[in-house]
Amino acid sequence: MPFSFPRRKREPSRDRVHRKVGIMRGDKDSWEVGLERSGEINILQRYRLSEYWTLIRRDNTGPPFISHKLLFVEEDLREIFQEEISIKEGADLNKDAKERLDALNARYWLLEQKCWHYHSCLADGYQLRAFELWRSHPKWYMHRVLVEDCASRHGCARGCGCCLSRNIDPTRRLGVGHCTFECGCYRRARGFDVSEEDKKLLKEQCREEISKLTKHRITRVAI
């Protein structure tokens, strides 16, 4: 009488599972894997941006997270960090200066919480992977478009080297980036102070315009 041994089940592999259930949103696709292996990082990032917007159009929805929110809170963090540097560069840290530093420290902490919340809101998949790859480079903010933007506003990217060589306190790593109104070097080169009212007005106007443009080039290369 013929007999047979029980058929041994093959261990499931990641590739077999993908073929069976399909690639879930958030998983890397074959194009991403191939571009990563080839080292074509710029093409990879452009591909991710294209696919991200294709998904939004296909689903007929707005972006799951508005990237400019993260852009704005990072700018606020830079302002605090640069103002702290300016105060500490002063000849005398009097009582008022110390109180201002304490207030800035508390505000930085609050904005840091908001920043990490916005980071958690990035869409899992193309957007999140693109952001994390981009920010893994310590000098990500020296992208040509961001340098040109700072220089055109007469910030330190105009050539003095302040943006590139600014010393970053480990507790202020979210404050890395280009000049704000509070950069001491930027202010000295400008030759005059800008009133708080004018700063607020200009910032609100610029942010209103950027918030209307979901594909604004500064948002695109920064986030």
Percent of the chain with pLDDT over 70: 86
Of the listed ranges 36-50, 55-69, 165-179, the least confidently predicted one is: 55-69
Of the listed ranges 63-67, 118-122, 196-200, the least confidently predicted one is: 63-67
Of the listed ranges 4-18, 70-84, 100-114, the least confidently predicted one is: 4-18
Task: Specify the pLDDT at position 44.
Answer: 92
Would the CA dihedral through 184, 185, 187, 188 be positive or negative?
A: positive
Of the candidates 105, 103, 129, 111, the one whose C-alpha atom is nearest the C-alpha of residue 72 is 111
Task: Specify the pLDDT at position 156.
Answer: 79
Query: Mean pLDDT: which of 12-21, 91-100, 116-125 is highest?
Result: 116-125
Task: Specify the pLDDT at position 213.
Answer: 82
pLDDT band, very low/low/confident/very high, at 3 (cuts 50, 70, 90)? very low
Of the listed ranges 52-61, 101-110, 182-191, the least confidently predicted one is: 52-61
Of the listed ranges 48-52, 119-123, 163-167, the least confidently predicted one is: 163-167
pLDDT band, very low/low/confident/very high, at 222 (cuts 50, 70, 90)? confident
pLDDT above 50 for 188: yes
- Six-digit token string for 166: 């600014």
Task: Specify the pLDDT at position 64.
Answer: 67
